[in-house]
């Protein structure tokens, strides 16, 4: 600390407790309501607590009474001797800037922080950020002024009373303005709150701001109400916007879950993962593999969106094209034989139960948002989204509608080509139980693309063709239900622009 406070502390040690209990008239106003103030500070402390400048241990005692795990760091040996005697703790020798760095939930200090210069205050607050847990906080009980004018008025007033020790102290030490503390806190990564407790003292609480990392942006997508489409009376239509996941589609949930489950079970032996996908699954897997330092190899039928292929590559995946004419079945066969030959982990989205399980949280997010779900509408590619949602929602009375393009086999039709991308089933998914389905909606490409345009024009929503198909299905089915209809929009239109989605 830049001032030689140590000398002051040594003098202070013997009469500190007298001052705080109001026996020293000069400091009576500074310490007015002392026990109450300490109580307010202690009340806000939790968990592992570092107390700086415990002095003679008055706040330390209250923290002890709360049963907190306390490290007390005190620069003055004289003060520490008194405090240690009072609390039975051994105080660490050190100060705000020099101490044994350790993780903490609370960093707390009473009537000491003003011994640091402004730049030391900033250094300290910034240093503490990495020590504090996610809901960590800094609690500073100390003199703070509301304005320079206020500080001057207070100094003038106590000078007129002849309180020269106090006036010297106020002029010499680094009492900050509240506004300055607020700014320091904000720019060091904290939210700032301050309550004034007497003429001098403010209780300042700096709570750590926790910033999300990119990987946190999977799930918890927005759910919006669509109000521009004609609906039967008593029906509300909601859309879950899965394009707001990190990789831009619902499949980020799948990628994350499949990889985490496989790692948990120890199924990934060679550090390489392989899958067949039209794209979104590959993007979701690429993100998950990147997060866990794994290699990803993806088999993609040639015709699929080049944007998705570019994105997979950008995220570090290696792409292998299979013939468009062989469809997804051809891509699956190629992925499987690569896994058999090399020992790479085949994620097998079309068969693994980890696929539908990836959407447990999606179902929860939806019910948390709307309460009762009277009808759920979701497209099927692998069938995972629909199966996961239906397994969780159907038992609560939700009507379930599965959506496919013309050219998909769920309705008993023949397998054939379609332009609606991401949905469409060539063989019945093993995990999809027939009794989970209340209705199958088979939507033409033209209807799906028309709905995509309508969503852009009417709602400002830029979604992919499978969303258009699902909206059409939801509108077709709306007369069969009362209440809340929720439709899943798996991705955005920008990754289909090269396929002229709006033309
Ligand atoms: C755009 C889009 N919509 C819908 C789906 C269908 O999801 P699921 O495989 O869970 O049936 C997918 C799957 O890839 C997709 O990419």
Average model confidence (pLDDT) for the chain? 95
How many angstroms is it from 203 CA to the middle of ligand 1?
A: 53
Alpha helices in 324-383 (DSSP H): 327-342, 354-357, 360-370
Are the C-beta atoms of residues 242 and 488 closer than 8 Å to each other?
yes
pLDDT tier, 303 (very low <50, low <70, confident <90, very high otherwise): confident
The reply to whether 5-208 and 215-246+355-499 are identical in fold is yes
- Pull the structure tokens for residue 299: 């088999």
The secondary element (H helix, E strand) that includes residue 256 is helix 251-265
β-strands 48-52, 104-110: how paired? parallel
Alpha helices in 360-496 (DSSP H): 360-370, 384-393, 445-454, 465-477
- Domain 251-346 class in CATH: alpha beta
Looking at the DSSP bridge assignments, the partners of residue 225 are 238
Homologous superfamily (CATH) for 5-208: Vaccinia Virus protein VP39 (3.40.50.150)
Residue nearest to atom 15 of ligand 1 (CA): 422
Residue 416's alpha-carbon distances to 80, 214, 412, in angstroms, are: 82, 38, 12
In this predicted structure, the answer to whether residue 466 has a pLDDT above a threshold of 60 is: yes
Residue nearest to atom 13 of ligand 1 (CA): 422
pLDDT tier, 336 (very low <50, low <70, confident <90, very high otherwise): very high
Per the rule left: phi > 0, alpha: psi between -120 and 50, beta: everything else, 437 is beta
So where are the chain's domains? 5-208, 215-246+355-499, 251-346
Per-residue pLDDT reduced to its tens digit, 29-80:
999 999 999 999 999 999 999 999 999 999 999 999 999 999 999 999 999 9
- Among the listed residues 251, 269, 295, 361, the single catalytic one is 251
pLDDT of residue 297: 98
Residue nearest to atom 2 of ligand 1 (CA): 422
In this predicted structure, the answer to whether residue 502 has a pLDDT above a threshold of 70 is: yes
Q: What is the mean pLDDT of residues 488-492?
A: 98
Task: Report the C-alpha gap between 319 and 331 in whole angstroms.
Answer: 11
Q: What is the mean pLDDT of residues 331-355?
A: 96
Would you tell me which CATH number, out of the four given (3.40.50.620, 3.40.50.970, 3.40.50.300, 3.40.50.1100), belongs to the domain 215-246+355-499?
3.40.50.1100
Task: Report the C-alpha gap between 308 and 500 in whole angstroms.
Answer: 15
pLDDT tier, 434 (very low <50, low <70, confident <90, very high otherwise): very high
Alpha helices in 111-163 (DSSP H): 118-131, 148-160
Are the C-beta atoms of residues 129 and 96 closer than 8 Å to each other?
no
In this predicted structure, the answer to whether residue 5 has a pLDDT above a threshold of 70 is: no
pLDDT of residue 499: 82
Mark whether 251 is an active-site residue.
yes
Task: Report the C-alpha gap between 200 and 145 in whole angstroms.
Answer: 7
pLDDT of residue 227: 98
pLDDT of residue 1: 54
Per-residue pLDDT reduced to its tens digit, 408-433:
999 999 999 899 989 999 999 999 99
């Amino acid at each position: 600390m830049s001032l030689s406070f140590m000398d002051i502390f040594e003098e202070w040690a013997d009469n500190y407790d007298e001052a705080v209990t109001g026996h020293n008239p000069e400091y009576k106003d500074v310490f007015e309501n002392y026990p109450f103030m300490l109580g307010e500070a202690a009340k806000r402390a939790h968990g592992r607590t570092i107390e700086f400048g415990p002095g003679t241990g008055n706040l330390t005692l209250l923290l002890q009474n709360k049963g907190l795990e306390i490290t007390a760091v005190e620069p003055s040996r004289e003060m520490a001797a008194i405090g240690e005697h009072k609390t039975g703790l051994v105080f660490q020798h050190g100060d705000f800037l020099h101490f044994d760095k350790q993780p903490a939930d609370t960093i707390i200090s009473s009537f000491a922080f003003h011994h640091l210069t402004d730049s030391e205050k900033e250094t300290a607050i910034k240093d503490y950020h990495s020590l504090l847990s996610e809901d960590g906080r800094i609690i500073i009980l100390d003199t703070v002024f509301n304005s320079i004018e206020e500080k001057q008025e207070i100094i003038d007033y106590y000078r007129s009373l002849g309180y020269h020790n106090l006036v010297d102290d106020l002029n010499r030490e680094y009492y900050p303005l509240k506004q300055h503390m607020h700014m320091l806190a904000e720019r060091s990564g904290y939210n700032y709150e301050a309550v004034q407790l007497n003429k001098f003292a403010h209780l300042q609480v700096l709570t750590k701001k926790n910033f999300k990392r990119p990987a946190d942006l999977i799930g918890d997508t927005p759910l919006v109400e669509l109000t521009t489409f004609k609906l039967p009376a008593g029906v509300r239509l909601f859309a879950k916007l899965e394009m707001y996941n990190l990789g831009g589609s619902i499949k980020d949930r799948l990628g994350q879950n499949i990889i985490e489950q496989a790692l948990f079970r120890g199924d990934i032996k060679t550090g390489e993962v392989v899958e067949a996908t039209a794209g979104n699954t590959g993007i979701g897997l690429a993100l998950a593999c990147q997060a866990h330092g794994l290699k990803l190899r993806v088999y993609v039928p040639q015709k699929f969106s080049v944007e998705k292929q570019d994105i997979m590559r950008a995220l570090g995946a290696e792409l292998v094209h299979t013939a468009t004419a062989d469809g997804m079945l051809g891509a699956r066969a190629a992925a499987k034989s690569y896994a058999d030959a090399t020992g790479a982990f085949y994620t097998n989205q079309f068969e693994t139960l980890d696929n539908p399980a990836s959407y447990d949280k999606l179902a929860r997010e939806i019910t948390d948002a709307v309460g009762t779900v009277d009808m759920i509408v979701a497209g099927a590619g692998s069938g995972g989204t629909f199966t996961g949602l239906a397994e969780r929602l159907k038992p609560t009375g939700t009507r379930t509608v599965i959506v496919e393009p013309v050219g998909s086999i769920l309705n008993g039709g023949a397998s054939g080509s379609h332009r609606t991308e991401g949905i469409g089933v060539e063989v019945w998914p093993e995990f999809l139980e027939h009794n989970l389905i209340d209705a199958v909606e088979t939507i033409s490409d033209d209807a799906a693309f028309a709905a995509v345009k309508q969503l852009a024009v009417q709602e400002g929503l830029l979604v992919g063709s499978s969303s258009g198909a699902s909206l059409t299905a939801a509108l077709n089915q709306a007369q069969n239900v009362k209440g809340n209809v929720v439709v899943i929009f798996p991705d955005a239109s920008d990754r289909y622009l090269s396929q002229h989605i709006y033309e």
